[in-house]
Amino acid sequence: MPVITLETPIQAPAEICYDLSLSVDLHQLSTAKTQEHIVDGVRKGVMKLGETVTWRAKHFGIWQELTTKITEARKPEYFVDEMQKGAFKYMRHEHHFIPTNEGVLMKDIFMFESPLGVLGKIADKLVLENYMKGFLTERNQCIKEMAESGKWREILGRRKD
């Protein structure tokens, strides 16, 4: 099973990065290339433990839907979202927020497995692992930019830190 680990240093408080990572509004901004939009579940704001959202997006030229649920959460330290329904056989995404002297180290641990047995394993190695790493890296850069620039206020609807 592929495991992608990313570390993104962000010069902002963990609480802001945590909320941005759970914001469905920011998610839609960060995934504009895949035309990702909500078709069910939480439609606005910051998701909470136990909540679900279903996304519809175009990947590899094919429209797909993915339903995820927030299955674990301890603000502002970490949360986990897991696939409930979608193209993967299995998907779990851990989001960790580790305080640093400069702000926070956002650490993603993304685990997934494709269906179709051996063919799925080949697709994971040849295509999906790099594709998903790029997708997550782009999303993290959007979170970093919003958190560090102060634009997070527009997304989260807050006036002060």
CATH number at residue 83: 3.30.530.20
Maximal C-alpha separation, the chain = 51
Whether 161 maps to a domain, the answer reads no
pLDDT (average), residues 98-111: 97
Q: What is the pTM of this model?
A: 0.91
pLDDT digits (tens, 9 = 90+) for 3-48: 999 999 999 999 999 999 999 999 999 988 888 899 999 999 999 9
pLDDT digits (tens, 9 = 90+) for 43-73: 999 999 999 999 999 888 889 999 999 999 9
In angstroms, the Cα distances linking 64 to 17, 39, 45 are 27, 11, 23
Whether 15 maps to a domain, the answer reads yes
pLDDT attached to residue 158: 67
Residues 41 and 51: beta-carbon distance below 8 Å: yes
The count of domains in the chain is 1
